[in-house]
Every structure is written in structure tokens, then in C-alpha cells.
Amino acid sequence: MASRRGVIVLLRSLHRRPYLILSSCSAAPPVHFLHTTRSICKPKMAENFEFQAETKNLLDIVAKSLYSDQEVFIRELISNASDALEKRRCKHLEANKDTNIAYEIKITTDENARLIIFEDNGIGMDREDLVNCLGTIAKSGSKKFMEEQSSQGKMSTESIIGQFGVGFYSAFMVANNVVVKTRKEDSDKGYLWKWNGGDSYSVEETDSLPVGSRIEVTLRPGDAAEFAKKEKVVEVINKYSYFITLPIIVNGERVNNVDAIWTMNPKEVTSEMHDTFFRQLAKTHLPHMVNDRPQYTIHYKADAPINVRSLLYVPSHSVSQLEFASSADQSGVSLYARRVLIKVFFFFFFFFLLP
């Protein structure tokens, strides 16, 4: 009886301890053998894989996630042109090169062809630049330029706008195809970069190109086609890029003439300058105040711990209830970075009417 109990205890012990295996033989009489085994696991070699992505889908995600409005592609391509011009200007100043170059950004529209063209006589690009910058998402040539200038203690790059290397792809939101023609100043070779709406692009050498870059954007049919209209392009420039220091020419006419006075020393800004600047802002945001002037002005600047320039206007115009209701969602604070509008923060004011 005692031995039977011992067997039962042993079997229960084996059941609780999986590393002990009970094997049986079919021969009579059945005899139970106890085997203790040790599992020796050989390490398996890891397999390496590359991430696979549909480039076209990735470009769509990048463009549409970063930009809520299609119109911002005009802002981004103007900013890229401005950076190209600033790089060339810096290069000439560092080399003490005396040139009478009229640095400017030209935009041409063709409504019938659904075409908008951006041109600059800036630093231009070679084959390596096209592959590295236009062919690589989030690689910024402007950021690299600023880092090089800073590390070498060269000229200030405060006028350089781009930093993230994604602005060019905003054009993909509205384009059927994009063509870039470009040549560097110190090279006889020009290059042609083409994207036809797929997940690849081509680069080929070409001749007889002026120094700088020309970007031709063929717009998709539908709502994107409105950006081939001059008046729409001017509207977007007034909203986002009006205060860029360089001239912006649309179909032969300069559209930006007022300086960004918030960047100036408050003591150097006259009341007449404030009036002109206020009316330019009103033209874009509050048309019913375009002939008004500010009643109160707060112009503030600080250099530490961060560089901040701010300008607040209180209009002298007596706002009616109807005007207030129609423009409440357009009043607020506009955030600019390097003279380019990034975002408008709208304020909603609550007030009580006294009897």
C-alpha cells in the first residue's frame, strides 16, 4: 500500500515538472522508465528585411498630412526659390564678387494649359542635388547650407526659410506632373528632372539653360486648376508670402511692395509705415477695414531666451454687430517664420451690449 502511494506521488510530481518525461514500452510486463532530458536550443540566425513602401503613397501621405490646404504649395515653392536666391547672394558676397544681378522670383500662369511656372535666378542644382534633394524625402539642402555656414562662421542665414526638406512635395497634392529645369552658375551642364505622377522620376542632362531653376507644375483638372489663374495666385501670395524681401513677379507684375515692419526696430517705424502695413493686412484678412488706421499699436521685440518680434493693432474703426459677426473668425494672431505665414490663430471675442 505504501509503495502504491509512493508511485502516485511520483506521478503527480512528474505531471507538475514538464522537464521530466515518462516513456513506456509496449513489451509485457509494462515497465516504466524515468528519463531526465535537457533541451539544447541552438540559436537561429536572424533574417534581415528592408522596409517596402509604395513611394507614390508615401509622398501622398507626406504632402497631405503636413498641409491642410492645397494652396500652400505656392508658398512652399516661393520659399524654395527665395532660399536659392539667398544662397547665390551669400556665395557672391563671400567671394567679393561684384555683380548686378536682379534677384527675383517669377511666376507665370496659363489657365488654358492648367500650368503654373516658378522661376528664379538663384544658385541652381546639379545632378547630385536633384537626386539628393528632390529624390530624397525630408533631406533639406537649405538646412545643410545653414549648418555649413554656421560651422564655418560665415555669413548670417536668417533669410533662409526651408529646414525640413518636404516643401517641394506639396506640389504633388495638385499636380499631374512636375518638370524641373535647372543649372548651376559654375557649370555648363543643365539638368531636367521629371515626375509624371507615378512612383519614380527621371533626370537627364540638357543644354542651353539659364542659371537658376524653373519648376513647371501641370495642375490636375478640377479644383486644383484654379491655381492657374493669376488672381488666385496673387491672393495666396498676399496671404502667405507677401513680406518676403525679394520681388515676386506674377505674369510680369510685381505683387509685393510692403516690408515686414515687425522685423524692424520699433523706434525706426513711423506712424505712416504702420498705417500702410495695417492696410495691407486688412486687404487680406479684413477688407472692410482697408481704409482704416490703427488706433493703438503695440510693437514688441525680444532677443532672449528666444528671438521674438510681435506687432498688435487695435483698429480705430467702429465695428458694427454685423461686421463683428462676419469677421470674428478672421481676427487673431498671425504666426510668421522668416517672413512667411505659418498659421493664423483665431480669437473669438465675447461681449455684452449695455442697455
Domain annotation covers residue 186? yes
What is the structure's pLDDT at 229? 98
Q: Is residue 69 domain-shared with residue 171, that is, in the same domain? A: yes
What is the structure's pLDDT at 105? 97
Domain annotation covers residue 167? yes
What is the structure's pLDDT at 84? 92
One-letter amino acid at 190 equals G
| Pairing verdict, β 105-110 and 248-250 | parallel
**pLDDT tens digits for 185-213?**
889 999 999 999 877 889 999 988 999 99
Neighbours of 178 (CB within 10 A): 22
Q: From CA 71, how far away is CA 241, in angstroms rounded?
A: 12
The set of cell numbers assigned to 113 is 494649359
Q: How many distinct structural domains can be found in the chain?
A: 2
Domain annotation covers residue 166? yes
For the residues of 164-198, what is the DSSP string, one character each? SS-GGGGGGGTEEEEEEEEE-TT-S-EEEEEE-SS
Q: Is residue 59 domain-shared with residue 184, that is, in the same domain? A: yes
One-letter amino acid at 66 equals L
Question: 227, 254, 281 — which closes off a domain?
Answer: 254
Count of residues in the chain: 355
Domain annotation covers residue 113? yes
Q: From CA 122, how far away is CA 92, in angstroms rounded?
A: 11
Q: Is residue 112 domain-shared with residue 159, that is, in the same domain? A: yes
From the list 115, 116, 130, 138, the residue with the least C-alpha distance to 59 is 138
Asked if residues 294 and 275 have their Cβ atoms less than 8 Å apart, the reply is yes
Mean pLDDT per block of 10 residues along the chain (355 residues) reads 51 48 47 53 60 61 72 93 90 78 95 98 92 67 50 51 66 93 93 88 92 97 96 95 94 93 92 90 72 87 85 77 56 79 63 34
Q: Is residue 214 domain-shared with residue 335, that is, in the same domain? A: no
Beta strands in 306-354 (DSSP E): 308-315, 332-337, 340-346
**Which alpha helices (DSSP H) does the chain contain, by range?**
2-16, 55-66, 72-94, 127-129, 141-151, 230-240, 271-285, 321-327
What is the structure's pLDDT at 30? 56
Question: 230, 254, 278 — which closes off a domain?
Answer: 254
Residue 235: strand pairing partners: none
Average pLDDT, the chain: 77
What is the structure's pLDDT at 353? 34
Domain annotation covers residue 32? no
Q: Is residue 323 domain-shared with residue 178, that is, in the same domain? A: no
Q: Is residue 248 domain-shared with residue 273, that is, in the same domain? A: no
Domain annotation covers residue 97? yes
Q: From CA 337, how far away is CA 343, in angstroms rounded?
A: 10
**pLDDT tens digits for 124-144?**
999 998 888 786 664 544 455
Residue 305, preceding peptide bond in cis (omega within 30° of 0) = yes
CA distances from 225 to 61, 76, 178, 208 (A): 21, 18, 14, 30
Residue-number span of the structural domain to which 166 is assigned: 55-254
One-letter amino acid at 38 equals R
Q: Is residue 316 domain-shared with residue 188, that is, in the same domain? A: no
Q: Is residue 120 domain-shared with residue 239, that is, in the same domain? A: yes
Domain annotation covers residue 45? no
What is the structure's pLDDT at 97? 76
Which CATH number fits the domain that encloses residue 278?
Answer: 3.30.230.80
The set of cell numbers assigned to 59 is 509622398
**pLDDT tens digits for 304-350?**
888 888 898 888 876 665 555 555 555 667 888 878 888 776 554 43
Q: Is residue 222 domain-shared with residue 280, that is, in the same domain? A: no
The whole-model pTM stands at 0.73
Q: Is residue 174 domain-shared with residue 310, that is, in the same domain? A: no
The set of cell numbers assigned to 147 is 549648418
Q: Is residue 272 domain-shared with residue 247, that is, in the same domain? A: no
Domain annotation covers residue 155? yes
Which CATH number fits the domain that encloses residue 206?
Answer: 3.30.565.10
Question: 199, 234, 254 — which closes off a domain?
Answer: 254
Q: Is residue 141 domain-shared with residue 203, that is, in the same domain? A: yes
Q: From CA 121, how far away is CA 182, in angstroms rounded?
A: 10
